[in-house]
Structure 1
Amino acid sequence: MPLPPDSELTTKGLAPEKGSGRVLLLACGALAREILALKKANGWDHMDLTCLPAILHIHPEKIPEAVRDAVVKHRDAYADIFVVYADCGTGGLLQKTCDELGVAMVSGPHCYSFFEGNERFAEIAESEFTAFYLTDFLVRQFDAFVWKPMGLDRHPELIDMYFGNYEKLVYQAQTEDPDLTEKARVCADRLGLAFERRFTGYGDLTSALKSL
């Protein structure tokens, strides 16, 4: 699914009436495909999805204000709004923003953690501090979200500077897709890292949305 670079992506029809019991999922654009798959598989027709630009993934300092603006924009039309971001590098500022707005958000430090399962990720974090993680989305968008923003397309000599202390690339697969697995393996080769594929499915994202 192509995602707009500088605007919200909304997958809903006409705005619902306040008090209709509908829930708005305000999410990172990098999670759109996974959330739509979960909505379809579980018949969660009471949920609408609005995604903020996925590029905020590499500008976490902009996430809290973007979420605040979106909540203020949409809150009068929904019975509840759920923020489908983890902390995502905001240093606790997103949680503070959500608390101020009275909306809940996904638990965990980042999407790699809740896809793995927050408890499981906490257990393995100490032994995997030299691992570089990719999700389905980041494998698909590796050039746009990793290679080019880090300047590796122009200065490949920087690979050693950025990744010299990493030992492996861990591909957290949300889906069983041989083509994505092969692409992730190529990403590891490009970075000079060992490759590990780990099927996580949707992890804690499923239970977080199911609770709504």
Structure 2
Amino acid sequence: MTDRVPDDATLAQDGADLTGSGRVLLVACGALAHEIMALKRANGWTHLDLACLPALLHNRPERIAPAVRDLVEARRDDYDSVFVVYADCGTGGALERTCRELGVGMMRGPHCYAFFDGIDRFTVRGDDEMRAFYLTDFLVRQFDAFVTRPLGLDRHPELREMYFGNYERLIYLAQTDDPALDAKAQEAAGALGLAYERRPTGYGDLETALSGL
């Protein structure tokens, strides 16, 4: 397997097939590719291969479960096992049902914000952070592609209050210690008119889940 991960634009639009000769296939969101590959390198997990679906599926969550099903069914015969590296991600339980039908495991939790932060910690903080808008490393890098342009804020900044008027702060869940990303996240908070908080999480429950495979 190559360690070279495609650029964010490719991961957002097309996903990536980074599979090699491992025994376990990870079917993941393209937004998690850099983190999964970093964990593979750091831990020497040569038994794990990775195939990513486009990150932009998050804008149409009803398409996630069918896309996961298609990829698992197309590739599972080449592997000892398959693990789906998505949380529910807005599918309303459809992805969990699909994985159960396919007999494959998946991440637990409502979305990647929760498993990066740690599901248990995220759950405890729930009431206190009802008005928080979250970003991860990938979403900081791709803020314009996933927030500004899809919501039309580049063309109609007056929509900001409609979308974000009930939010109070932007919380950057930082997987890495990168001053450039921190500055970009602060810019995003300013653009949305939100207070800014940086929370270093590392890889959270993602590392725990993958280490058990």
For normalisation by structure 2, the TM-score amounts to 0.94
Deviations 1:160-206 (A, max 9, x none): 00000100000000000000000000000000000000000000000
1-structure distance, mates of 2:65, 2:11 = 19
Superposition map of 1:57-76 within 5 A: 57-76=58-77
Moved over 6 A (4+): none
In structure 2, give the amino acid aligned to 1:25: L
**SS at 1:169 equivalent:** strand
**What's the secondary structure of 1:198's corresponding residue?**
strand
| Equivalent position of 1:117 in the other structure | 118
| Matched letter for residue 85 of structure 2 | V
Percent identity among equivalent residues?
63
2:40, 2:46 within 8 Å by CA — same for their partners in 1? yes
Q: For the residues of structure 2 that align with 1:171 and 1:86, how far apart are their CA atoms?
A: 19
In the alignment, the residues of structure 1 paired with residue 119 and residue 128 of structure 2 have an alpha-carbon distance, to the nearest angstrom, of 15
Counterparts of 1:86 and 1:33 in 2: how far apart (Å)? Answer: 17
State the Cα deviation string for residues 142-168 of structure 1 (Å, max 9, x = none): 000011111111111000000001000
Report the equivalent of 2:147: 146
What count of residue pairs does the alignment treat as equivalent?
206
Code of the aligned partner of 2:17 = T
Name the SS of the counterpart of 2:36 in structure 1: helix
Q: Structure 2 vs 1, CA of residues 180 and 97 (structure 1 numbering), >3 Å: closer, same or farther?
A: same
- Secondary structure at the residue paired with 2:150? coil
Task: Tell me, in whole angstroms, the C-alpha distance in 2 between the residues paired with 1:4 and 1:185.
Answer: 24
- Please say if residues 89 and 111 of structure 2, whose CA atoms lie closer than 8 Å, have aligned partners that are also in contact: yes
One-letter identity of the residue aligned with 2:32? L
2:158 maps to 1:157: yes
Amino acid at match of 1:10: D
1:9 is aligned to 2:9: no
RMSD, aligned α-carbons: 1.1
Measure the CA separation in 2 of the matches of 1:152 and 1:59: 19
Structure 1 CA distance, aligned partners of 2:151 and 2:63? 18
Alpha-carbon distance, 1:12 to partner: 2.6
8 Å contact kept, 2:12–2:30: no
1:86 equivalent in structure 2: 87
Aligned equivalent of 1:101 = 102
What's the TM-score, normalizing by structure 1?
Answer: 0.95
Aligned amino acid, residue 55 of structure 1? L
- Alpha-carbon distance, 1:4 to partner: 4.4
Distance 1:32 1:71 in 2: 17
Partner of 1:175: 176
SS at 1:137's partner residue? helix
CA distance in 1, matches of 2:164, 2:117: 22
Query: Deviations along 1:88-141, whole A, 9 cap, x unmatched?
Result: 000000000000000000011000000000000000011100000000000000
Give, in angstroms, the shift of residue 7 of structure 1: 3.5
- The one-letter code sitting in structure 1 at the alignment partner of 2:195 is A
C-alpha contact 2:11 2:31 (8 A) present in aligned 1:
no
Unaligned residue ranges in structure 1 (runs of 5+):
none
